[in-house]
Chain A
Amino acid sequence: MRKWTRRAFIGTGALAGGGLLLGVTGATLAPARHSLRSDDPVSIGELTTWIMVTPDNLVTVLVPHCEMGQGAQTALAMMAAEEMDADWNLVRVKEAPALDAYANAYIVRAFINDVAAPIERGFDFGAYRVARWFALQVTGGSLSVRGTGHHGMRVAGGAARQMLVEAAAAQFGVRASECTVASSRVNHSGSGRSASFGELASAAAAQSVPARPVLKDPRSYTLRRTPQRRLDMRSKVDGSAVYGIDFTMPGLLHAAVEIAPVFGGKLVSVDTAAAEAMPGVKRIVRLEEAVAVVADTYWRARVALATLKPQFDDAGQGGVSTATIFDAFDKALGAFPDMPADAATVIKADYKIPFLPHGTMEPMACTAQVIDDRAEVWAGTQDPLNARKTAADALGFSPEQVQYTNLALGGGFGRKLPGYLDFVGMSARIAKEMSPTPVKMIWSRETDMQHGYYRPAGMARFAGALDAAGTPLAARSFYAGGGDGESVFMPYAIADKKFSARDAKHPIRTGPWRSVLNSQHGFFKESFIDEMAHAAKKDPFQFRRDLMTDLRFKTALERVAAMADWDSPLPEREGRGIAIAESFGSIVAQVAHVSVSPEGVLKVKQVCAAVDCGDVVNTDTAAAQVEGGIIFGLSAALLGAITIANGTVVESNFHDFKTITLVDAPAIEVDFIISGAHPGGLGEPAVPPIAAAVANAIFAATRIRVRELPIKNSNLAVPS
Chain B
Amino acid sequence: MSRMPITLTVNGQVRSLDVDPDTPLLWAIRETLGLTGTKFGCGIGACGACTVHVNGKPERSCSMPVSSADGSSVTTIEGLAQGGALNAVQQAWLDQQVPQCGYCQSGMIMAVSALLAEKPHATDAEIDATITNICRCGTFARVRTAIHGLAIDRGGA
- By a beta-carbon cutoff of 8 Å, the part of chain A in contact with chain B is 68-71, 229-230, 232-243, 245-246, 248, 254, 279, 297-300, 303, 358-363, 408-413, 442, 444-445, 620-621, 624, 627-632, 635, 653-655, 659-663, 665-668
Q: Are A229 and B94 in contact (CB-based, < 8 A)?
A: yes
Q: Which residues of the other chain, B, contact A412 by a CB distance below 8 angstroms?
A: 101
| Cα(A243)–Cα(B101), bound, Å | 10
Q: Are A229 and B97 in contact (CB-based, < 8 A)?
A: yes
Q: Which residues of the other chain, B, contact A298 by a CB distance below 8 angstroms?
A: 27, 31
| Cα(A466)–Cα(B20), bound, Å | 71
| Cα(A300)–Cα(B98), bound, Å | 35
Q: Which residues of the other chain, B, contact A236 by a CB distance below 8 angstroms?
A: 99, 101-102, 105
Q: Are B20 and A620 in contact (CB-based, < 8 A)?
A: no
Within 8 A of A (CB), among B27-70: 27, 30-32, 34-44, 46-47, 49
Q: Which residues of the other chain, A, contact B102 by a CB distance below 8 angstroms?
A: 69, 232-233, 235-237, 241, 408, 410
Q: Which residues of the other chain, A, contact B128 by a CB distance below 8 angstroms?
A: 662-663
- By a beta-carbon cutoff of 8 Å, the part of chain B in contact with chain A is 1, 19-20, 22-24, 27, 30-32, 34-44, 46-47, 49, 76-78, 80-81, 86, 90, 93-94, 97-106, 109, 127-129, 131-144
Q: Which residue of A lies closest to B105 (CB)?
A: A236
User: Do A632 and B20 contact each other (CB < 8 Å), given the known contacts A297-B31, A409-B101?
Assistant: no
| Cα(A71)–Cα(B102), bound, Å | 11
Q: Which residue of B lies closest to A359 (CB)?
A: B136
* B151 vs chain A, min Cβ distance (A): 14
* A193 vs chain B, min Cβ distance (A): 39
Q: Are A237 and B103 in contact (CB-based, < 8 A)?
A: no
- Kindly identify which residue among A238, A243, A621, A668 contacts B97, using a CB–CB cutoff of 8 Å: A621
Q: Are B43 and A361 in contact (CB-based, < 8 A)?
A: no
Q: Which residues of the other chain, A, contact B100 by a CB distance below 8 angstroms?
A: 68-71, 624, 628
Q: Which residue of B lies closest to A413 (CB)?
A: B136
Q: Which residue of B lies closest to A240 (CB)?
A: B37
Q: Which residues of the other chain, A, contact B138 by a CB distance below 8 angstroms?
A: 627-632, 635, 665
- Kindly identify which residue among B44, B131, B137 contacts A655, using a CB–CB cutoff of 8 Å: B44
Given contact pairs A237-B94, A358-B136, A444-B43, a sample of 19 additional A-B residue pairs in the complex whose CB atoms are under 8 Å apart = A68-B100, A233-B99, A239-B38, A245-B40, A254-B31, A297-B19, A298-B27, A298-B31, A299-B27, A360-B103, A411-B136, A627-B139, A632-B136, A654-B44, A654-B46, A661-B135, A661-B140, A662-B133, A667-B141
Q: Which residues of the other chain, B, contact A246 by a CB distance below 8 angstroms?
A: 30, 36
| Cα(A667)–Cα(B34), bound, Å | 38
Q: Which residue of A lies closest to B100 (CB)?
A: A69
Q: Which residue of A lies closest to B101 (CB)?
A: A69
| Cα(A225)–Cα(B41), bound, Å | 35
Q: Are B41 and A361 in contact (CB-based, < 8 A)?
A: yes
Q: Which residue of B lies closest to A633 (CB)?
A: B138
| Cα(A297)–Cα(B3), bound, Å | 14
* B91 vs chain A, min Cβ distance (A): 8
Q: Are A239 and B37 in contact (CB-based, < 8 A)?
A: yes
* B114 vs chain A, min Cβ distance (A): 15
| Cα(A299)–Cα(B67), bound, Å | 14
* A371 vs chain B, min Cβ distance (A): 23
| Cα(A628)–Cα(B102), bound, Å | 13
Q: Which residues of the other chain, B, contact A410 by a CB distance below 8 angstroms?
A: 39, 101-104
Q: Are B134 and A361 in contact (CB-based, < 8 A)?
A: yes
Q: Are A361 and B77 in contact (CB-based, < 8 A)?
A: no
Q: Which residues of the other chain, A, contact B137 by a CB distance below 8 angstroms?
A: 69, 361, 411, 628, 631-632
